[in-house]
Amino acid sequence: MSAAKLRFQVDSRLATLLSQEYRSTERALKELVDNAWDADADQVSIQLPKPLSGDPIVMRDDGTGMTEEELRRHYLTIAKDRRSARGERTAGKNRQVKGRKGIGKFAGFMAASVMTLETSTRGKLCRIALRLDAIGNVEDIEHLDIALHSEDCDPDIHCTVITLSELHQGLAYPDPNRLRQVLLQDYGRHDDFAVIVDEKRLDVDDVQGSYSEHQTALPDVGDVKLRLSIFDGKAGLRQPGVTLRVGGKAVGSPSFFGLEGHEYFPPKLLKKMYGEVDADGLLDHVTAGWDSLVENSEKLKAVEAFIQPILISAAKEKYGKELQLAQARMQKAIQQRLASLPEHKRDFANKSIKKILERYYDEPPSKIEPIVGVLLDALERSDYRILLEHIADASQGEVATIADRLNDFGLAEMAFLVAQAAARQTFLDQLEALARDPATTEAAMHKSLELSLWVFGPEYSLFSSNITLKRQIEDVLNTTYKGKNADKRPDLLLNQNLSGEYLLIEFKRPDHSLNYDDYKQAIEYRHDFTKHITSSIRVVLIGGRLSPDFPKENREPNVDARLFSQVIASARRQVEWLLRSD
């Protein structure tokens, strides 16, 4: 047994790095768990005290431990990037190193005033104790004397024990449930690193939310057990999905067993599903690298058939509850406006709000509220044109669908819709006269149609335009347009609908035949814009006829060619249908 004095060795980054703070004691403790991971531990256990008990926090890992020399050169060197000395990967298990800044050792002081480190390896046990008040009383931390206790121990023992005592009374004691949530994000999926909090290993049932177990015996497979949690936090999990385990060992990455495109699995909801399925009977169908099962495995299909209905049912339940809560919050926010509506309109508004929430499940309230506002504007003013343009969920059958819904409102309000249809018929008469006149210019057609995109079909009514082309392009790109065709001024509209999609329209004279050069010019504009815009851009070219060289096949996606005569005829059929329904 021996005693000695140690001192911190300080890197020039100390002042900056020590000013960083942890958001909670639970996150500070995770920093100490990261150190155990970097020490190639198989297991780390954390024992938390009961509130007001005066007991310490004790963290024990079975990692490599440290010799006296390693304590001096590595642990007591502050603000030194661990990777610069020992590489990106750990020596034993080849793990990605988590420690970066060399200050994780101070994380314990977030919770306690005294931190004792006891580490054993290669037949030696070393112990040091650090006090927060002692560190604060020296002008320079490298002048702090640290007593080192050293004694012989069993050569087979390798471990590190950190004891945090004299916990800060001004902070809440670390909460075991919150600590598990923090640790699950990084350590809930590892076979070779067990994290134990208050004698319970991290597991599926630690996820904050609803937990369920499902078990069956399948022919040729045997016992299959699914443990599933649906996270109820606002954000998603970093490692969502269901892990398949065979013989206790994970096979491949977490997945959703082919349900990624299912209607009850919005992307936001997918990130909240967390589970494990044990199916030891699949052992003979696991690939050599344990990264997957053979694709044509009938046993795997049987397991999927068992799991899929359970995931769908759980998703429906969670999805339904969240929509009910969202609808309740929305109704509370607009309670006064809803209360002022007649009862039949109020019922319709509630149903429509639910439909909007379903469609925009992944969107924040800031995007949903304006859509609900449009709906209420329409109902308050009986202006069903706005309703048609902004919340209808049909495309070709949009008018008929909305008309059926509005039929419950009574003949007086339906008469308004019919009056609007008559006004549109007059507009189409005037538009058709312009299209037949050889003297009509591109600018004239542009001006006539830029605020009446309903002419092209109900789905185009979702787009809007109320500023000049030059302003629109500069607003969307957040810069002055300097593309290949910047010196030209074609008749283009660049608009955005409620789904974030852009529409780019090029008008030609009614007597002009759309040709290959027109097509090429339009897609070159799209190519220029996509350098600045991540959303999809739909292209529509409109003219009087199609030239033989206009590409009919092998066009880029979302490029459409329309003739004025066809556009007007189609719009007229929709309007006439409304007039006949009166």
Instruction: Note the pLDDT of residue 194.
Output: 94
Report the predicted TM-score, pTM, of the whole model to 2 decimal places: 0.56
- Assign a CATH topology to domain 418-580: Restriction Endonuclease (3.40.91)
CATH dotted code for 2-197 = 3.30.565.10
Which residues does 295 contact at the CB level (< 8 Å), separation at least 6? Answer: none
Burial class (CB in 10 A: 0-12, 13-18, 19+), 195: buried
Pairing of strands 222-231, 194-197: unpaired
* 418, 579 contact by CB (below 8 A): yes
Mind listing the pLDDT tens digit of every residue in the chain (582 residues)? Answer: 666 666 555 543 443 344 345 678 888 899 899 999 999 999 999 999 987 788 999 999 999 999 988 888 877 776 555 555 667 888 889 998 886 556 667 788 888 889 999 999 999 999 999 888 877 676 666 667 788 899 999 999 999 999 999 988 766 678 899 999 889 888 988 888 999 999 999 999 999 888 999 999 999 999 999 999 989 887 778 889 999 999 989 998 898 888 877 766 777 788 888 999 999 999 999 998 888 888 889 999 999 999 999 998 888 888 777 777 777 878 787 888 888 887 767 877 887 787 777 777 667 777 777 777 777 776 676 544 444 444 334 333 443 444 444 444 433 344 445 556 667 788 888 888 888 888 888 878 877 777 677 787 766 655 554 444 455 555 555 555 555 554 444 455 666 665 667 788 888 888 899 999 999 988 888 888 777 777 788 888 999 999 999 998 888 988 989 899 988 988 888 777 656 544
Cβ–Cβ contacts within 10 Å for residue 269, how many? Answer: 20
Instruction: Note the pLDDT of residue 11.
Output: 46
The full set of domain ranges for the chain reads 2-197, 207-322, 340-413, 418-580
Instruction: Note the pLDDT of residue 516.
Output: 93
Instruction: Note the pLDDT of residue 418.
Output: 56
What is 81-116 written as a DSSP string? -HHHHH-SB-TTT-PBP---SS-GGGGGGGTEEEEE
How would you classify residue 205: left for phi > 0, otherwise alpha for psi between -120 and 50, otherwise beta?
Answer: alpha
From the options 3.40.50.1370, 3.30.1330.60, 3.40.140.10, 3.30.230.10, give the CATH code of 207-322.
3.30.230.10
DSSP H helix total and E strand total for the chain: 18, 22
Q: In what order do the strands lie in the sheet with 491-496?
A: 491-496, 502-507, 537-543, 559-563
Secondary structure letter of residue 119 according to DSSP: E
